[in-house]
Amino acid sequence: MLRELLLLRHGKSDWNINTDDFNRPLKDRGKRAAQRMGVWLATHNKIPDIIISSPAERALTTAEKCCKAMGQGSDNILQQQKVYLADTSDLLQVLRKLPASANRVMLVGHNPGLENLLTCLTDGAAKAEEDGKLLPTATLALLEIELNWSDIKQGSARLKRIIRPRTLPKQFPWPLHEAKERRDRPAYYYNQSSTIPYRLRDGECEILIVRSSKKKHWVVPKGIHEPGLTSQQSAAKEALEEAGVEGSVKAKALGRYSYQKWGANCIVEVYAMEVSHVIEESEWEERHRTRQWVSPQQAASLVRQTELGPMIMALEKSTN
């Protein structure tokens, strides 16, 4: 049986961040490159059965960005510690343990390990380009293998193609991968979910509002609808991250609104969430925002998005 192995090097990392090698993040340029690779894989019917990634920040983020741009959830990415700082022997061991049912596998990692693996599997057939680079950041190598994963060895693969991100369109198709319209971000960015967190105290409805990331105005949790999650699940995820609260998101949306960002309209579905647990301030990752419980009337007047006002008042009415 013909199998396919995709080798993806992590995107461009940000050396301006003062951190250790394992936790070094991607630059925005690296994120966009990973997303362009994801779109290419989707449009060419190359979505992997399994994605294995180094757990290092820059590699894992590359895998996640690529996966979401394919329209897939990122929960199925398998993190393998052995892929970080791996040599050829380490990576071959990872591949040999793959299940026989996997026909297409993507390995997301680092140089020199990936380049050495590519050279080994193709028995030196993979050659660097004129700039002297074989797998620069966010570059994808496509290999074909006729052996079982357990039998993979030196010279057992054929190199089909190497794709560099610079050769791909900078903009992204919308709303589907085959569409002709192009936008500044992948299609899923333009569908978003939001929650209005509330609680009942002494029979009165209270609304939780938080500061925006730059602390310029009051908002309620909102974010991109993550591929692989329902709109409600994505809204709950944003509430946990941005407001540090957990609870029950109602099945029916309170409403929707749109706003301009990334050169087009973003559509936001808004849900009520009855809060059951408030994360301690010291454990809330985005505590720099600050949060505050206020009356529905105060919340309606304070939040920046005016379309939220009627939804907040409708939420209060539904709790009476």
User: Domain limits of the chain?
Assistant: 3-167, 187-319
Predicted pLDDT at 273: 98
- Residue range 90-104: mean pLDDT, rounded: 96
How does the average pLDDT of the chain come out, rounded?
95
Q: What whole-number percentage of the chain has pLDDT above 90?
A: 90
Q: What is the pLDDT of residue 9?
A: 98
Tell me the pLDDT tens digit for each residue of 19-64. 999 999 999 999 999 999 999 999 999 999 999 999 999 999 999 9
For residue 252, the model assigns a pLDDT of 96
Q: How confident is the model at residue 176 (pLDDT cuts 50, 70, 90)?
A: confident
CA distance 87 to 83: 8
211 pLDDT band, cuts 50/70/90, is very high
3-state DSSP call for residue 311?
Answer: helix
Q: Regarding the domain delimited by 187-319, which CATH topology (the fold level of the hierarchy) does it fall under? A: Nucleoside Triphosphate Pyrophosphohydrolase (3.90.79)
Is the confidence at residue 91, as pLDDT, over 90? yes
Residue 307 tokens read as: 């379309």
pLDDT category, 76, cuts 50, 70, 90? confident
The residue to which tokens 């059965």 are assigned:
49
The whole-number average pLDDT for the span 308-320 is 95
In this predicted model, what pLDDT tens digit does every residue of 223-259 receive, in sequence order? Answer: 999 999 999 999 999 999 999 999 999 999 999 999 9
pLDDT at residue 272 tops 90: yes
Whether cis (ω within 30° of 0) applies to the bond prior to 310 is no
Give whole-number Cα distances, 108 to 50, 86, 129, 139, in Å. Answer: 11, 12, 21, 10
DSSP collapsed to 3 states, 165-183: HHHCCCCEECCCCCCCCEE
> Residue 214, exposed/middle/buried by CB under 10 A (0-12, 13-18, 19+)?
exposed
CA distance 10 to 138: 5
List the CATH code of the domain at 3-167.
Answer: 3.40.50.1240
Q: Averaged over 77-98, what is the pLDDT?
A: 97
